[in-house]
Structure 1
Amino acid sequence: MMTKNSDKKREQMIMLCMDDMVPKNHMLRLIDKAIDWTFIYELVEEKYCPDNGRPSMDPVMLIKIPFIQYLYGIKSMRQTI
């Protein structure tokens, strides 16, 4: 139901920085600093076509997702994302 007060809520906007939401000493930040993930691009370079097909997902992200699932015992891709 529309009321006068609901219009005021629509005008509110919160700006959040994802970096500020994760503690500086979080385990995943420490792992990300310890591992240079760029080697994955070289390993999968020949598997991707540069000029044909849909844009691909970042291969590093495709490696990090199952890594996070393993660390936290998450069985669902949807729950991980």
Structure 2
Amino acid sequence: MLRSNREKQQSYEFVSIEELVPQDHLLRKVDKYINFSFIEDKVRPLYSADNGRPAIDPVVLFKMIFLGYF
């Protein structure tokens, strides 16, 4: 749908992820007790440092799958 210039957004809202996730949420507990840095060591041989496009952080990918399991 086309809009005229008069309908442009006139205000902004700043949101902090820290404010969106409650302090007692399961994700905060997981982040506190599980150190996911071991994943980088496990997958390092599978990534090329000088060829191809930059990779998505493997820790982020693992966390996404991990959360999907929950």
Give the aligned CA root-mean-square deviation in angstroms. 1.6
More helix by share: 1
Q: Distance in 1 between matches of 2:5 and 2:15?
A: 28
When normalised by structure 2's length, the TM-score is: 0.85
- Per-residue displacement from partner, 1:11-32 (whole Å, max 9, x unpaired)? 1100111111111111011001
Q: Percent identity?
A: 35
Question: Aligned residues, how many?
Answer: 68
Gaps of 5+ in 2: none
5+ unaligned residues in a row in structure 1: which ranges?
72-81
Relative contact order, CA 8 A, sep 6+: which one is greater?
2
TM-score computed with the length of structure 1 as normaliser: 0.75
